Homo-oligomer: A and B are copies of this chain.
């Protein structure tokens, strides 16, 4: 049996593309997938591709990929960026600048699927004025993706101020009891604010996919 089977029909069937999760793949496997994508003349999105692993790929593969070190994503033959505008359907909000990596994974995944979004970073609740400053803009979006680490109070507070659906992305920012994001995750899940939806720790890709499905399903075509 072939040891790698790309599910090229996933976008048609599930609304989002299969992404290549690189964290547990060898560079040999990644090379093989890049070639497969080339042969099929398809676009591919690679996630969790650390800078150090990317650097071990062949120069040929490196050149074919649009790589972003902050988000640890690489794109083959795909849309790389959609300019941010203020009336995007999706607003990405983050608690602190330490969450930048996850925010960029959200943004790159959305853009890759042809959907624009606006990013509001560093508006955590320890300085509420930063959040209230942008409430009017947030209210113009149809969906909020809230990215936060540590005690992750941001999605809870947001949820008490606006009526849009909110996808919470807990991040592994913090130390001690933060437990690599477990506290942030539980804070989103156990929030007193009704209706938060949560994804895995640091799972910017997953939050973006959820958003894409939501927009596809609810937007008349």
A interface residue numbers (CB < 8 A to B):
1-5, 7, 9-10, 13-16, 18-19, 21, 23-26, 29, 48, 70, 95-98, 100, 118-128, 130, 134, 142-143, 149-153, 156-157, 159-167, 172-181, 183, 185-203, 205-206, 209-210, 212-219
Task: For residue A61, give the distance in angstroms from its CB to the closest CB of chain B.
Answer: 16
Bound-state CA distance A85–B206 (Å) is 31
| Contact in complex: A183, B174 (CB < 8 Å) | no
| Contact in complex: A97, B4 (CB < 8 Å) | yes
- List residues of chain B with CB within 8 A of the CB of A185: 176-177, 189
Question: Which B residue sits closest to A210, measured CB to CB?
Answer: B195
Question: Which B residue sits closest to A176, measured CB to CB?
Answer: B201
- List residues of chain B with CB within 8 A of the CB of A201: 175-177
Question: Which B residue sits closest to A84, measured CB to CB?
Answer: B1
Task: For residue A187, give the distance in angstroms from its CB to the closest CB of chain B.
Answer: 4
Question: Which B residue sits closest to A22, measured CB to CB?
Answer: B98
| Contact in complex: A194, B19 (CB < 8 Å) | yes
| Contact in complex: B160, A2 (CB < 8 Å) | no
- List residues of chain B with CB within 8 A of the CB of A98: 21, 23-25
Task: For residue A176, give the distance in angstroms from its CB to the closest CB of chain B.
Answer: 3
- List residues of chain B with CB within 8 A of the CB of A164: 15, 213, 217
- List residues of chain B with CB within 8 A of the CB of A123: 5
Given A3-B100, A192-B151, A165 contacting B199 (CB threshold 8 A):
no
- List residues of chain B with CB within 8 A of the CB of A209: 194-195
- List residues of chain B with CB within 8 A of the CB of A119: 1, 3
Question: Which B residue sits closest to A128, measured CB to CB?
Answer: B160
Task: For residue A116, give the distance in angstroms from its CB to the closest CB of chain B.
Answer: 15
17 contacts between A and B (CB under 8 A): A1-B121, A3-B119, A3-B121, A7-B130, A13-B160, A16-B195, A23-B173, A151-B153, A153-B191, A167-B197, A172-B176, A176-B185, A176-B202, A176-B203, A177-B200, A183-B186, A189-B198
